Amino acid sequence: MTVSEPVRAAIERSQSSAQSAAPANGLPHNTHIHLPPNFSAFDTVAEAVEAASREGIRLLGVSNYYHYGVYADFANRAMAAGIFPLFGTEIICPLDDLVRAGVRINDPANPGKMYICGKAVTAFDPLSENAAALLQTIRDKDSARMADMIGRMGEVFRLAGFESDLDETQVKDMVVRRHGCPRESVYLQERHIAQAFQERMAERLDDEEQTALLTRAYGGPPKASPAEAVATQNEIRSRLMKAGKPGYVPETFVDFDHARRLIASLGGIACYPVLADGADPVCEFEDTPENLIERIRARSIACAEFIPERNSPEQLERYASALRAAGILITAGTEHNTRDRIPITPRCKGGAPVPQSVQRLFWEGACVLVGHMADVCAGGSGFDPGNVERLRDLGSRIVEGYA
């Protein structure tokens, strides 16, 4: 397997650094954010790294959808700030049997739709021929759906009395202008579309006209004020673009096996993002920690990730401790995939701290991810549930000595 240059550079740099011991609960870290041109809280990579540095983050992971061109810039900026860069990906796939059964997995609005991550990917620059082919299939399917959704959303607003004049090209142009990124790196997401329609509305209509328009489009008054741009974008997405809504276009994503093969081709670890009490009621796939363990094990997934901001400390501890006791590696991030500016250090719902017992488990997981990358760099096979202790120790030495 060819190891990507940003990975190799990060590992080589750590070997020349002096080691310092981490506290019992580990060093401040985050294994999952999104960077532009993905939909992100940040406008630039520099902005994200600067925010992480201000919080004393020592390890930061990025998990972008479908294009990894930004990873070299991220690696260089993170290394310059003394932050160990971790690389990943995120993929959406439907499980057809659960779609038919109406079982919600980790998307509460779309039964049968699963988000799955690839953590600690090591072979993204350059992509192997196999990885490139698998990724291009995803890109083509996703791009066709986004173009169709923009057209459908345009019709929703047209019927409500507003000509947006938006198409796929214009929405991409908005992303390119906002982030100064190459056009070929832009793969649109639902949030990009919601943002584009909200911004076009705000450009052309006053607040009263926007409220009237959204009332017609929604079939009822909006909850968010037009002055609340982010809240309005989120409401456009939830009330017009989700399953059963007028702007929805059925998913055309690849299946679970395709997603797993891409993660393997990128040299990463398949990881299930846990929603838990981030949904109310809890999604059926995750209805108890024990059932969740059984279901992800059946799909040969040995790693899970939490976004603690969604969870109460009690539920986070319940799920995280059960998964780890069952031998499933756990990690934590924040996503930063909305325009809301929350801390980069993971915290629980309402700003409550992550329980210390869970912090220790998250630190262990982060160190194993780093150990996986280093092991692959050295010609090893990387993560296996049987070598967690060795990779944890290797990863902790690397991150603790990284500055």
Q: Residue 18: is its pLDDT beyond 70?
A: no
Q: pLDDT-derived band of residue 402, with 50, 70 and 90 as boundaries?
A: confident
pLDDT digits (tens, 9 = 90+) for 266-314: 999 999 999 999 999 999 999 999 999 999 999 999 999 999 999 999 9
C-beta of residue 1 within 8 angstroms of C-beta of residue 374: no
Q: Residue 361: is its pLDDT beyond 80?
A: yes
Q: Residue 20: is its pLDDT beyond 90?
A: no
What's the pLDDT score for residue 23? 75
What's the pLDDT score for residue 19? 60
Give dist(CA 72, CA 211) in Å, integer: 43
pLDDT digits (tens, 9 = 90+) for 183-214: 999 999 999 999 999 999 999 999 999 999 99
> Cβ neighbours of residue 42 under 8 Å, at least 6 residues apart?
35, 36, 48, 51, 336
Q: Residue 220: is its pLDDT beyond 90?
A: yes
CA 379 vs CA 4, 113, 234, 362, 401: distances in Å: 13, 35, 45, 26, 22
What's the pLDDT score for residue 109? 86
C-beta of residue 376 within 8 angstroms of C-beta of residue 267: yes
Q: 182-197 in b/e burial notation, b at 16+ Cβ within 10 A?
A: eeebbbbbbbbbbbbb
Region 130-137: what's the mean pLDDT?
97
Q: Which helix (H) or strand (E) holds 93?
A: strand 84-94
Task: Please give the CATH topology (third level) of the domain spanning 5-127+266-400.
Answer: TIM Barrel (3.20.20)
How many C-beta atoms surround the C-beta of residue 302 within 10 A? Answer: 18
C-beta of residue 85 within 8 angstroms of C-beta of residue 366: no
Q: Residue 17: is its pLDDT beyond 80?
A: no
pLDDT digits (tens, 9 = 90+) for 371-389: 999 999 999 999 999 999 9
Percentage above 90 pLDDT, the chain: 90
Q: Which helix (H) or strand (E) holds 59?
A: strand 59-64
Q: Residue 170: is its pLDDT beyond 60?
A: yes
Tokens, residue 193: 């579309």
pLDDT digits (tens, 9 = 90+) for 32-60: 999 999 999 999 999 999 999 999 999 99
Q: Residue 1: is its pLDDT beyond 60?
A: no
Q: Residue 327: is its pLDDT beyond 90?
A: yes
402 versus 215: the higher-pLDDT residue is 215
pLDDT digits (tens, 9 = 90+) for 225-279: 999 999 999 999 999 999 899 999 988 889 999 999 999 999 999 999 999 999 9
Give dist(CA 265, CA 79) in Å, integer: 25
The count of C-alpha atoms lying within 13 angstroms of the C-alpha of 198, restricted to the half-sphere facing its C-beta, is: 22
Give dist(CA 242, CA 188) in Å, integer: 16
Pairing, β 303-306 against β 269-274: parallel
Give dist(CA 4, CA 124) in Å, integer: 6
DSSP state of 99: H
What's the pLDDT score for residue 318? 98
Helix axes 356-377, 388-400, angle to 10 degrees: 90
Give dist(CA 104, CA 125) in Å, integer: 35
- The domain locations on the chain are 5-127+266-400, 143-241
What's the pLDDT score for residue 11? 87
Tokens, residue 183: 């056009």
Tokens, residue 171: 């929405």
Average pLDDT, the chain: 95
Helix axes 207-218, 229-236, angle to 10 degrees: 20
Q: Residue 14: is its pLDDT beyond 90?
A: no
Region 94-100: what's the mean pLDDT?
94
What's the pLDDT score for residue 98? 96
